[in-house]
Amino acid sequence: PLHAAVHTQRGATATLPCVLRALPRNYRVKWSKVEPANYRESIIIITNGLYHKNYGPLSPRVHLRHSHRYDASLTITDVALEDEGRYRCQLVNGASPSSSTPVPVPPGVVFPYQPSNGRYKFNYHEAKRACEQQDSRLATYQQLYKACGARLLLPGVRTYGARDKQKDRFDAFCFTSALQGQVYFIRGHLNFKEAGQACRNHGAAIAKVGQLYSAWKFSQLDRCDGGWLADGSVRYPIT
């Protein structure tokens, strides 16, 4: 790869570079995504230079760039939060070694999230689902470390060690990136139902927690007024 990381935006198009040094006979190029939880690889696309086949959930959004004979670069369209990770381009039955390319989706923001019934109530699967419902993803270790490691009295991220994903309960750290849309404030003495209707009257939808954090971080939304969000919480963005 030309770069250790490829930086992109949510909703944009990203190209992961892979240029072959040679074209051996009967070669194949395999692109896969390395899953961090178990280090297993999920195949994305396989090509022999003439034909290719796509695999998995990324299938509709990926293609090979093919700008020249040796170009096996992978292009991902409409980049999503879940696309972040490490990808491998491998020349099969050839002399070239495989290469890996991490693909972050910066800029991003990590924010804490807790359920409406109090603190420390999520198991792992509930925390993952809650983040997804708030236009975000459960943060990775690297995202959390980058977001708050330097701000602690003693830099670093503390750990409770391995936890039981079903039995142990905590809040969640979620990760979201810049929005394609806009978050704005509607003034008024509104209950939750009225707030939702007010947004619909504007041809909009009531904002999610991740969207408010994104607007605060990347659109400089700064307003000291409480307002409803889609999960039934009341928050306001202030700098």
Could you report the per-residue pLDDT of 188-239, keeping only the tens digit for each?
Answer: 999 999 999 999 999 999 999 999 999 999 999 999 999 999 999 999 999 8
Q: CA 134, CA 149: separation in Å to the nearest integer? A: 24
Distances (CA, A) of 41 to 30, 47, 81, 125, 150: 11, 17, 18, 22, 32
Q: 3 pLDDT band (50/70/90 cuts)? A: low
pLDDT at 185 (0 to 100): 97
Contact 32, 41 (CB under 8 A): yes
What burial class does residue 152 get, using C-beta atoms within 10 Å of its C-beta: 0-12 exposed, 13-18 middle, 19+ buried? exposed
Q: In what order do the strands lie in the sheet with 137-138?
A: 108-113, 172-177, 137-138
Interatomic CA distance for residues 233 and 115, integer angstroms: 10
CA–CA gap between residue 117 and residue 34 (Å, rounded)? 36
Per residue in 52-63, pLDDT (tens digit) is 899 999 999 999
Q: What is the mean pLDDT of the chain?
A: 89
Confidence of residue 49 (pLDDT cuts 50, 70, 90): confident
Is the model more confident about 115 or about 153?
A: 115
Mean pLDDT check: name the lowest of 49-53, 63-67, 126-130. 49-53
pLDDT of residue 152: 44
**Which domains occur in the chain, in start order?**
14-103 (2.60.40.10), 107-177 (3.10.100.10), 178-239 (3.10.100.10)
pLDDT at position 93: 74
- The total number of residues shown for the chain amounts to 239
